[in-house]
Chain A
């Protein structure tokens, strides 16, 4: 169904006027939803976020309004710093936008901040060094391991459970690396 939706949505973008209206709406509405979601995740009031970004509470209210649509990169940089998340601005294919819009989730709207990401990485690393049991952990690391295909790393629960089917998802292929306990 998802691939059907992808094809239908891509086809609907054939008209340039609609295509760029759709793009504009996803930029402005998407940012508004993300700012609200990230503020909620941090359990901040609009005033607290305003204090952290040097703005007025009314400005934060506007930024969270999906009908507002007037964002500056300067403001977005300040918000990214306050939330401790990346701000990714780049030109790309419409299929990437379509993928993003069809696979939205709370986690995508309010992604992990840098500290959370590092904590996850450290935790996974510790399980390798100490041999301590760790829940199954999945990373997808696109193109940072020297190849063009995403590489999946698996950590193992323990020597015994690692040999069972419950300790991993799927059988390793030659493009997967398994982090073994030592």
Chain B
């Protein structure tokens, strides 16, 4: 039995284009990146019905509805990656990185931004994603 999912990153098209997920992971602390990278690798083998706390949250609510949350804690900081299942079978697409402080995302607009990126990706799947490489 292989992995359950393959993770993809939102990729901002351009010349040469940018990977905001990679940039976020690289830009804000090595321990957070290590924690999230390990969590993503383990979640690739984790059935969706088990994407519950404390591992992840598979279906957020309110203006985050339709998004999942990959969770990790490092250096007393709660790290979050927002994404959605799809567009293809056994695919999970990461769209936005945030922190959580006092039950609120930082930035506060994280879910709104994530939803906008999700809608954009669903319109132009072929060039708005790259497979996550864990690097």
Contact = CB atoms under 8 A, between A and B. Distances in A.
Interface in A1-49: 1, 4-5, 8-9, 11-12, 15, 17-18, 21-22, 24-26, 29-30, 33, 36, 40
B134 A5 contact: yes
Interface stretch (B9-17, B41-49, B84-92): B41-49
B19 interface: no
A1 to B, nearest CB: 7
Interface of A is mostly: helix
A18 B33 contact: yes
B39 interface: yes
A29 B54 contact: no
B55 interface: yes
Interface residues on B, range: 20 to 34
A66 B39 CA distance: 8
B7 to A, nearest CB: 11
Cβ-closest 4 pairs across A and B: A8-B135, A21-B34, A25-B38, A104-B45
Given A11-B135, A25-B72, A105-B3, 4 more contacts: A18-B33, A26-B41, A106-B47, A109-B46
